[in-house]
Amino acid sequence: MTRANARASIERGRVQNAVLGGRPSGRAKIMIQSSDAVSGPAIYVVLPPPGRHQNTHRYGIAIVAEGYDGILTSSSTRIPGLVSVADIAQTAQALARHEEPVIRSHPGNIDDLRGLDRRLARVHHVRDGALGIAAGLLAVLGTIGFLLRIRLAARMAILFGAAIVGASLVTSGAGIERATPVLLALAGISLALATGGSSLPRAPVVAAILGGLLLVLALDTSINSFGPLGPHPEGGGRFYGLSNLQETLLLPPVLAAAAGIWLVPIGVLALVTVGWSHAGADGGGMLVFAVALAVLWLRVRGIALTPRRLALVAAGAVVLGLALVGLDAALGGSSHLTHSIGSGSVFDDIWHRWRLSWAVVTSSWHKGALFIVSVAGMIWMAGRHDRGPVLEALLVAVLVSLVVNDTPVDVAGIGALGGLALLAWERTRPSVDSRPMRRPLLALPLLALVVAGCGSEGAVRAVPETVQGTIQAEAPGKAIFTQQGCNGCHTYQPAGATQTIGPDLDKLPEYAKKAKKPLDAFVHESIVKPGAYIEKGYKNQMPTSYGSLPPSDIDDLVAFLTKPQG
């Protein structure tokens, strides 16, 4: 920041990113005077000294007018003691017209401002380290899960984005000041949350984290703002709600949790968290999640993503976003998005973001290289035959985010790592890990029996005649049935499934007889080509992606559906 840039921002009521030059253009709304002879309401501002300075310094501002007693806050920051230079012009005009100003007074004193300075300095110093931890741990977990097919690592990678967003809130709420403890706590808490959540049903875990995030954002947005992953004041005029980085981290766990019967509740919770003006207040993020959820809904039902359907999805997401913004505004909500729509500057804002995105990618060789590598990785994922509906929804969402947001390197990098986590998740389904003797842990019961038989004198040797009955392993196809979401649409007693969206699988022998095919062949064909036979009274809504399952998994699933005892 320079003194001239700060003066131009104050007079024009706009801020310009330093990557684009830092000095906003346009007509001045107010003029700065250096005279002390001011009658009526006045705003006093301390400008930066000559030279260039990092945009992490807080400069003094005082408002002499009726109703101002304490420290200042504004709707751009929602942080007592911190206002944006872009709000000064609008406040000066409002005071002159006797209207409601943007900058208002909040109870506080000089000690609160000193504490604010300490927190701002701490946030600035941990920002890059926190991003490195988020990307590094997500990359490690996703790589281990993908290459080594370790199920725990893959499940942790899926939940990690939500876990580290929650960990950022915890470290901020705990008031940790020093950089090293903050980063250590961020890594430890996120790994602990991801590890603990990996052993629980995914949808309730993600819903709980989203609910906690929504509650924190609605009650005290400063907890997220001062978190190591929250929005930062040196990056723009808005210092509240969710950052693009946080939203991209949340995409994989939200989509994975919404892939089954939880799509509607998880989707609604995510949209409210991201788009509500009292919480995330990010219109671009709301559009990204709306598109992602719509694509997921289509792909889970086996509907192909044609250009026409993608265009309809985009149009529907825009209409939904406008409806939600309108409802929010009608209920008294106010955010940068409602102001943008109200002033008719939406397209100008999008064009500005495109210019800023291009400037960020080309600002240094390492940012450009990281962006290119990330995009190449996502193209590689899009071309894989084993990509699932969740990964396809993520890739489309990241593409939309690159169009409507202005942090392309963060979005592409974290988006690619999130895609790697989803690929690892696809390759480590429970059907692989739950087969007998596939892992050392599954041999522990047998080892216990061996040790029990190796006692001292008096040990009784078991003989075949003393064994009654047999031990039967659970059919491996049952785990595949559950993991692939078949229980979300069908009734099948051996799996405990009771849904009625699709045909009753307990009647498969009857259906095979009608189709005049052997039961095994009929079931196999129904999995890989679900449109070959459609039972009367039902529509073909079954995804076609099951045909890309490994042949061994399809065989196990056929065996479970035809001989449920395996």
Q: How far apart are CA 258 and CA 270, in angstroms?
A: 10
Report the CATH number of the 473-562 domain.
1.10.760.10
Collect all residues with Cβ–Cβ distance below 8 Å to 359 and sequence separation of at least 6: 17, 19, 20
* Cβ atoms of residues 294 and 300 within 8 Å: no
Residue-wise pLDDT for 443-485, tens only, equals 333 333 333 344 434 434 444 444 344 434 456 778 787 777 7
Q: How far apart are CA 336 and CA 359, in angstroms?
A: 23
Rounded to whole angstroms, the Cα distance separating 305 from 544 reads 13
What was the pLDDT predicted at 250?
A: 97
Higher pLDDT, 22 or 50: 50
Question: Both tokens of residue 375?
Answer: 């995009």
Q: Is the pTM of this model over 0.75?
A: no
* Residue 362 pLDDT: 92
pLDDT band at 429 (very low <50, low <70, confident <90, very high): low
Stretch 486-497: mean pLDDT: 81
Q: Please tell me whether residue 497 adopts helix, strand or coil conformation.
A: strand
Tokens of residue 190, six digits: 């996120």
The answer to which of 61-65, 110-114, 129-133, 438-442 has the lowest mean pLDDT is: 438-442
Between 366 and 500, the higher pLDDT residue: 366
Looking at the chain, the whole-number percentage of residues with pLDDT higher than 90 is 32
pLDDT confidence tier of residue 434, bands split at 50, 70 and 90: very low
Structure tokens at 418: 């999130």
**CA 566/CA 563 separation, integer angstroms:** 6
Which pLDDT score is estimated for 381? 94
Burial classification of residue 37, based on how many CB atoms lie within 10 Å of its CB (0-12 exposed, 13-18 middle, 19 or more buried): exposed
Phi, psi for residue 413 in degrees, rounded to 5: -65, -55
Residue type, 561: L
Distance CA 297, CA 393 (A): 9
162 within 8 A of 207, measured Cβ to Cβ? no
DSSP codes joined into one string, 59-86 = --EEEESTT--SEEE-TTT-BTTB--TH
Q: Which tokens go with 104?
A: 């208002």
Mean pLDDT of 373-388: 92
Q: What is the pLDDT of residue 337?
A: 56
Cβ–Cβ < 8 Å for 413, 374: yes
Domain boundaries, the chain: 3-108, 111-428, 473-562
Sign of torsion over alpha carbons 478, 482, 487, 490? negative
